[in-house]
Chains A and B, each alone.
Chain A
Amino acid sequence: MQLQLKIWHKMIIGIAIPSLIVLVGSIFTYEYLNDVKDRQEFVEIADDIKEDVLEIRRNEKNFFLYRNAEHRDNVYNAIFILKNTISSISQEIIEDIGQEDFSVLNESVQTYTDYIDELYESYREETKVTERVREEGRKLEDSVAKGRRAGGLTTSFVLNLRRLEKNYMFFRDKRSFLELHTALSELGDTAPGCTECISYKKAIGDLISAYSKSASVEKKLQVTGNRLEKIALKIARRERQKIKSFITVTNRFLLAAVALLCLLGPFFVYRTAKYIVTPINRLSEITKRIAAGDLNVRAPLKERDETYSLALSFNTMLDHLRERENQLIEKEKELYQSKKLASIGILTSGVAHELTNPLNNISMIAQTYTELYDKLSREDRLAFMNNVEKEAERIRDIVRDLLDFSKPKEKSFREADINTVVEKSLKLVQNMLDISNIETSVTLGSGIGRVFIDEHQIQQVLVNLITNAIQAMPGGGRLYIETGLSSDGEFVEIAIRDTGKGIPPEFLPHIFDPFFSTKGVEGTGLGMSVSYGIIKTHKGNIKVQSKVGEGSTFTVELPVYRGDAA
């Protein structure tokens, strides 16, 4: 026998699977939400980096403008803040940002710092050179003013040169450079061999190269700064992008989990309910059939679950029930037979009397025959013997009826006419009625349809009811027997009414109970319950109406036979 899941297990599975879906969904959602929280942190850090870088760039501009140590330190501070931010980044975030981008960020910061240093050095060099240019400029001015280098040099030319020098220092652009350059070429042409002029020119040349170096470092710094800014923005943007897609995925996952739950939940609940209900329904179906009286059904032992033992108990119960029923049928048979014997006892006295008449007739024929033998004609003698034969037949018929009534019989249902059955029953008890001084009034309805009965049993019931009626009228009376159709036309009714003592109302409800008797020692009490049982097996009814002092009416109802053999 295959082992099947028990209902309990099925229920657990039915409940566990949807629960598991919810649990898994919840865990994943929780994890995702945690991730989103981490992501938030990443985004914040990315934003910090971006802010730090922008702060550096702002300070860088100031540094470009003021070119002094103070602003360089400001840049340093900003770099320091950025470095702090970077160093606080966990390995996890680094992995998330990407090792490559992180390295680029770090390198860029380092390079940037180096360039700041270089630029500062360059600015210091610039300052020194600027001082020298101013020194040389002043020397040139002095010598022109003192006229030592009169040559072609004029004070206004030198002053203009100094103005161009200042312009160049201030603007550092191509135009001011070209103007200064032109003026310096003129200076070389107008005052060759002027040492101050040569020193000044050399100082200006140094200034130009210092400026160009600063410019190139600035350029490199800006490039590095831009790269730094770009990478910071890239990281920040990517983190935002990631968190966005994370939320999207989480949303989709939750949606999928809910959809799965909506789809699978009812399915599993339905399956579980079905698993549980199916065997119960099967048993319920069987109980219905049992209730309808079919004791041959057995619960199928299909599944080895909780209903298996139930079905097993059910079947055992059914076995017992059937056994009991068989015993009951056996007892009923015995009871029926014993009641019949009791009836036979009552009948016998009637029959004995009935036999007396034909016996007497035979006896008298025989006596007359003997006495008048010689005087009798041949015809007379034959007539005598014919009469003897007839009377013997009468005796045989009486005996046969009694035997027929007393013989135990197998149940045999057949179509019958109730009036015939009533007449036959009446014939059996006629003599008793005569003896008991009871007049009978029989009204047999015509066209009342036929019944499907065990004639012998119904006869037994009628004899029993008539015998009771006789016993209810010890001083004689009238017995009314009527047959007819019920008002709804579904039943054939046989009413047996006596004018006897009647049954007290408190006895009426017990009249069909076994061993209930109103007749004291005379009755066994079994007659009514046996009659009741017989009528019930015919799907009929037996009813009683009675009034003390007026008599009782027993009405037997039998279903009209419509050709559908039951």
Chain B
Amino acid sequence: MNKQYKIMVIDDEKIVGDMAKMTLEQDGYVVETFLNAAPALERLKEEKFDVIVTDYKMKGIDGMEVLRTVKKLYPEIVVIMITAFANLDAAIEALRSDVHDFFPKPVKIKELKASIQRALSKQK
């Protein structure tokens, strides 16, 4: 692991961010967490992130909007979406907008890690 990848986690559930950060940092990633999307998008202007893990349903700017904005401005960033409801329509819509992966809650952290790894290796 010669390069430190940067991962951004956006979820209005603080625990999601906290747990993701703890486990992902174990694997050597740099992780920043946000409780809502607006400051997260602001942060992107300052710093380049490799992966964004975002919740689908959030107050204010939601996951779909984050996906669209990121794909428009920074198409190279991998976006993984997690959602509390297994909504097929939402999944299809996200896939159309080039989402890398789509996880329903409760999230299996191992699967999430695998998905991130897969994305990053593909990117190389």
Contact = CB atoms under 8 A, between A and B. Distances in A.
Contacts of A372: 22-23, 26
Contacts of B100: none
A360 B109 contact: no
A364 B26 contact: no
A365 B19 contact: yes
B16 A361 contact: yes
Interface string B1-23: 00000000000010110011011
A387 B26 contact: no
Given A353-B85, A357-B84, A387-B15, A363 B106 contact: yes
B35 to A, nearest CB: 13
Contacts of B22: 368, 372
A364 B85 contact: no
A359 B107 CA distance: 10
A353 to B, nearest CB: 5
B108 interface: yes
A391 interface: yes
A434 B15 contact: no
B105 A371 contact: no
Interface residues of B, number: 18
Nearest to A376: B22
A435 interface: yes
A365 B17 CA distance: 11
A360 B26 contact: no
B109 A357 contact: no
B85 A368 contact: no
Contacts of B110: 367
Contact of A356 (B59, B84, B109): B84
A364 B16 contact: yes
A435 B85 contact: yes
A148 interface: no
A360 B108 CA distance: 9
Among A363, A364, A365, chain B packs the most CB atoms within 10 A around the CB of A364
Contact of B19 (A364, A375, A435): A364
Contacts of B26: 371-372, 375
A360 B16 contact: yes
Most chain A C-beta atoms within 10 Å of own C-beta, residue among B16, B23, B106, B110: B106
Contact of A368 (B59, B84, B109): B109
B85 A360 contact: no
B68 interface: no
A361 B109 CA distance: 11
Given A356-B84, A360-B13, A361-B13, A368 B105 contact: no
B71 interface: no
Contacts of A353: 84-85
Given A356-B84, A356-B85, A435-B85, A367 B19 contact: yes
Interface string B96-115: 00000000011111100000
Contacts of A391: 15
Interface in B19-68: 19-20, 22-23, 26, 57, 59
A316 to B, nearest CB: 59
Contacts of A367: 19, 23, 108-110
A360 B56 CA distance: 14
A361 B15 contact: yes
A487 B107 CA distance: 53
A371 B22 CA distance: 10
A103 to B, nearest CB: 139
B84 A360 contact: yes
A359 B84 CA distance: 10
B23 A371 contact: yes
Contacts of B16: 360-361, 364
Interface string A129-144: 0000000000000000
Contact of B106 (A360, A368, A371): A360
A557 to B, nearest CB: 32
Contact of A359 (B23, B105, B108, B109): B105
A359 B106 CA distance: 7
B84 A364 contact: no
B42 to A, nearest CB: 22
A360 B105 contact: yes
B57 A364 contact: no
Interface string A345-381: 0000000010011011111110110011001000000
Given A364-B20, A372-B23, A434 B106 contact: no
B89 to A, nearest CB: 12
Contacts of B20: 364
A383 to B, nearest CB: 10
Contact of A365 (B15, B57, B85, B105): B15
Nearest to A352: B85
Contacts of B19: 361, 364-365, 367-368
A200 B57 CA distance: 186
Nearest to A437: B62
Nearest to B62: A437
Contacts of A361: 13, 15-16, 19
Most buried by A among B19, B85, B107: B19
Nearest to A439: B59
Contacts of A357: 13, 84, 105
Contacts of B107: 360, 363-364
A426 to B, nearest CB: 15
Contact of B15 (A356, A364, A375): A364
A368 B112 CA distance: 13
Interface of B: 13, 15-16, 19-20, 22-23, 26, 57, 59, 84-85, 105-110
Interface of A: 353, 356-357, 359-365, 367-368, 371-372, 375, 387, 391, 434-435
